[in-house]
Each structure stands twice: as C-alpha cells, then as structure tokens.
Amino acid sequence: MNNSMSVCVVGLGSMGMGVALSCIKAGFKTYGVDLNPNARKKLIEAGAVKSEETAISFSKELDVVILLVVNAMQVKQVLFGDNGLAQHLKPNTIVMVSSTISARDAKEIDLNLQKYQLIMLDAPVSGGAIKAANGEMTIMASGAKSTFEKIKPVHDAIASHVYNIGTEIGLGSTVKIIHQLLAGVHIAAGAEAMALAARANIPLSIMYEVVTNAAGNSWMFENRMKHVVDGDYTPKSAVDIFVKDLGLVNDTAKSLKFPLPLASTALNMFTEASNAGHGKEDDSAVIKVFSGINLPAKKGE
C-alpha cells in the first residue's frame, strides 16, 4: 500500500473521526480539521501529524482532503469562503466531498475546484460511526477513473465497499440521496411501530426483540430503536440531519417531477420533531411526535 500519502479529514464528527482514525491505522500522514478542541486533541493523541481549526498551515503537504462537514454550505465555506482552503492547496490535490449534498451543489463545487486545478471526487459515505472507525464504510462515488485509481489506497483504508457510480460529478450524491430516502423512512416507520406498541402497552424492549429477530427488521430499526428502548437520545445523527437530507430527497424528486409519498411523510415527521424542540437530539427522537404514549426513561434518571 502507498501509505506515504498525506490525508486531511475536515470535520471530525462521529464519521469524520472514524475516517481519520482509520487513516492513521493504515499508516497515512493524517491531519485533522475541526472547530472542536476536544476532537482535535483526540486525533493528535491517536497519532495525527497535526489537527487544527484550519488546514491552511499544512495545505501544501496534502495529497487528499476528505470533507465530512454537515452540508453543502459548509463545504463551500471551507473551500471557497474567506481565506478558503482551495486557493492554498497544491494543484492536483484530490478533494473528496463526502457530505450529503445535492447533485447541483456537487457540480458547482467541482467547477469552482477546477479553477484551482483541484480534482473532485463526489463521494458520499454511509455506515455510521462504528463502521467508520473500523474502516468499513460504504462509499458511493463518481469522478474520473484516474481519480479512483490515485485515491484507492485511502479507500482501501476507510471502506469495505466502494461503488464507482460513473464519471459524472453529481451521480454519487444522487445515489446517497436515494439511500437517505430509505434511511429516513425506515427510522420514521420504526418510530411509528414502536409508538403503536407503547400505546398498546407492549413493553418496548419486547417489541424490539421480536422485530429484530423477525422479517420486519431493518438496519435502521435495529440501530435507532435501541436508543428508544434505552431512553437515550444522545445524538449519533440528529433529527435536523434528516430534516436536511429528506429535504434534499424531496428537492431531487421535484426536479425529476417524481412523487414520493412515503419520503414526504417522513420529512413532515422529522420537521415536526424539530419544530417541537428535538432537532439536536438523536434522529430516533422522531418518535416524540406521537402523543399519548409513555416512552422509556434513560437508566438512572
């Protein structure tokens, strides 16, 4: 493996931290960028070369930049805002945009990167914090064949599945948006089922056990409804993330003049949960839109 490459992860949240740690384990010269000093400290202690609020001081060292910030606005701010990173990177640096964004935003970012002779890979990711930390993410990417070849050692370190969707920037983002349709609907449906169980006075721990050992299970049900059973809404992925992602799903469908009845309903549920003050809680807190039910409390409370 060519582990002499220098990789910088921008955005050290649950996914970004896992990606950065996987890069360190693989022997890459790894850098991190985040506003959170605790995240930066954790990465340095794990063996990162540097971890700062901005990558500008070490920009010329970098071969690959992986962006795992929240949305397209943050991607654009990091790259092209006041003293943005793009102008400081050396030509032919690969910029792997792994945030969930629209195809239109991906294409716009690519055009702006080209002005600086930078190479974009439109590469959203999925898998959650645990798979990110284990180097087992799924990457759905589009870009030039040569870009895939150059970045392959990094992909080998951070992912167990890499899908080449095509050469056109925007295709990777579209596949991720369609995936988020399923993820959001599965969480909303799981919450509806557990809310109905609560109304029927069925212990949610029993309902959870039955579903996770039967045909109605999904990865999202198994992962997120455990948070409901535990009464723990500490955010792994927040309600507001799905307000954003299902909004992108609806925007994509609108541009294609395509109806999405289930995704539209799920978006309304997440929006209602956010409006009720649960936006920063774990996305499983969408169950709180249902009234007239008693939910488990967190142990010790």
Q: Which CATH number is 89's domain given? A: 3.40.50.720
What pLDDT is attached to residue 301?
67
Q: Which of 117, 137, 168 is the last residue of a domain?
A: 168
CA distance 76 to 67: 10
Establish if 295 belongs to a structural domain: no
Q: pLDDT digits over 38-71, tens only? A: 999 999 999 999 999 999 999 999 999 999 999 9
User: Both 207 and 121 in a single domain?
Assistant: no
Closest CA to 140 of 157, 123, 118: 123
What pLDDT is attached to residue 45?
98
What pLDDT is attached to residue 3?
72
User: Both 262 and 240 in a single domain?
Assistant: yes
User: Both 150 and 249 in a single domain?
Assistant: no
User: Both 185 and 278 in a single domain?
Assistant: yes
Establish if 128 belongs to a structural domain: yes
Establish if 280 belongs to a structural domain: yes
Residues annotated as part of the active site: 176
User: Both 101 and 69 in a single domain?
Assistant: yes
- DSSP letter for 296, please: P
Q: Which of 116, 140, 168 is the last residue of a domain?
A: 168
User: Both 127 and 179 in a single domain?
Assistant: no
User: Both 42 and 16 in a single domain?
Assistant: yes
Closest CA to 189 of 48, 49, 283: 283
CA distance 97 to 67: 5
Q: pLDDT digits over 109-123, tens only? A: 999 999 999 999 999
User: Both 138 and 114 in a single domain?
Assistant: yes
What pLDDT is attached to residue 123?
98
Establish if 105 belongs to a structural domain: yes
User: Both 108 and 240 in a single domain?
Assistant: no
User: What is the torsion angle, in degrees rounded to the nearest 10, for the CA atoms of residue 249, residue 250, residue 251 and residue 256?
Assistant: 90
Domain residue limits at 59: 6-168
- DSSP letter for 169, please: T
What pLDDT is attached to residue 128?
86
Q: Which of 141, 168, 195 is the last residue of a domain?
A: 168
CB 204, CB 228: distance < 8 Å: yes
Question: What CATH number corresponds to the domain at position 242?
Answer: 1.10.1040.10
Indicate if the alpha-carbon torsion angle 37, 240, 7, 83 is positive or negative.
negative
- pLDDT averaged per 10 residues in sequence order, the chain, 301 residues: 84 95 97 98 98 97 97 98 97 98 98 98 93 96 98 98 98 98 98 98 98 98 98 95 97 97 98 98 98 93 67
